[in-house]
Amino acid sequence: MKKIILFASGSGSNAEKIIRHCQERKIIEVVRVYTNNPTAKVIARAESLHVPVEIFNRQDLNDGKIAEKISQDAPDLIVLAGFLWKFPESIIKDFPNKTINIHPALLPKYGGKGMYGMNVHQAVLANNEKETGITIHYVNEHYDEGGILFQKSVNIENCSSAEEIAEKIHILEHQYFIEVIENLLT
Active-site residue numbers? Answer: 103
**Which sign does the torsion angle of CA 12, 121, 114, 87 carry?**
positive
State how far the Cα of 140 lies from the Cα of 135, in Å rounded to an integer. 14
Looking at the DSSP bridge assignments, the partners of residue 148 are 137
147 touches 38 (CB < 8 A) = no
